[in-house]
Amino acid sequence: MIRAGRLFGQARRRPLPTSPAVAEVLGGLAGDTVAASGASPGIRLILTSDSTTVNERRKGQRMQGVAITGIGVISCIGQSADEYFARLDAGEHGVTAAPWAEPEAGRYAWIAPVPDFDPAAWLDERVIAGSDTFTQHALAASIQAVRDAGGDFDPLRTGVVLGVTMGGARALLDAQRRLDTEGPDAVPRKLNIQAWPNMAAGQIAIHYGLHGPLLTVSSACASSLDAIGTGARMIETGQADVIIAGGTECGLAPALAYSQRSYGMSSPPDRADRASLPFDTRRCGVVEGAGAAVVVLENAGRATRRGVRTYGLVTGYASLSEGFHPSSPDPSGQWEAEAMRRAQRDAGLPGPGAVDAVIAHATATPAGDLAEAKAINEVFGEHAAELPVTSIKGHVGHTGSASGVMGLLAGLHGMQAGTLVQIAGTTDVEPEARFRVITRAPAKADIDVLQVNGFGFGGQDACLIVARA
- In the chain the domains, ranked by start, together with CATH numbers, are 5-58 (no CATH), 66-467 (3.40.47.10)
- Residue 62 is predicted with a pLDDT of 61
Cα 299 vs. chain centroid, distance in angstroms?
Answer: 19
* pLDDT score for 61: 55
Are the CB atoms for 447 and 414 separated by under 8 Å?
yes
Kindly indicate the confidence band of residue 35, based on its pLDDT and cuts at 50, 70 and 90. very low
Which pLDDT tens digit goes with each residue over 384-394?
999 999 999 99
pLDDT in tens, 117-137: 999 999 999 999 999 999 999
Query: Residue 169: pLDDT above 80?
Result: yes
**What per-residue confidence (pLDDT) applies to 46?**
36
pLDDT confidence of residue 179: 97
Question: Residue 306: pLDDT above 50?
Answer: yes
Whether this model's pTM surpasses 0.85: yes
| Dihedral of the alpha carbons of 426, 428, 429, 430, in degrees to the nearest 10 | -120
How confident is the model at residue 152, as a pLDDT? 84
Name which residue leads in pLDDT, 340 or 152: 340
- pLDDT one-digit tens code per residue, 205-225: 999 999 999 999 999 999 999
pLDDT value of residue 49: 38
φ/ψ region of 455 (left if φ > 0, alpha if ψ in -120 to 50, else beta) reads beta
Residue 7: what pLDDT?
A: 34
Q: Over the chain, what is the mean pLDDT? A: 88
The residue ranking higher by pLDDT, 251 or 228, is 228
What's residue 364's pLDDT?
Answer: 96
Contacts of 357 (CB under 8 A, 6+ apart): 387, 388, 389, 390, 411, 414, 420, 445, 447, 450, 451
Residue 356 CB: number of other CB atoms within 10 A?
21
pLDDT at residue 116 greater than cutoff 50:
yes
- pLDDT in the model for residue 106: 87
- Return the number of other C-beta atoms located less than 10 Å from residue 309's C-beta: 15
Which of 435, 468, 148 minimizes the C-alpha distance to 279? 435
- Long-range pairs for 58-64 at CB < 8 Å and ≥24 separation? 62/315, 62/316, 62/345, 62/346, 62/347, 62/348, 63/232, 63/233, 63/236, 63/314, 63/315, 63/316, 63/317, 63/346, 63/347, 64/236, 64/300, 64/315
Q: How large a percentage of the chain has pLDDT more than 70?
A: 86
42 pLDDT band, cuts 50/70/90, is very low
Residues shown for the chain: 469
- The pLDDT value recorded for residue 43 is 28
CA–CA dist 6, 147 (Å, integer): 13
Mean pLDDT over 82-99 rounds to 97
4 vs 93, higher pLDDT: 93
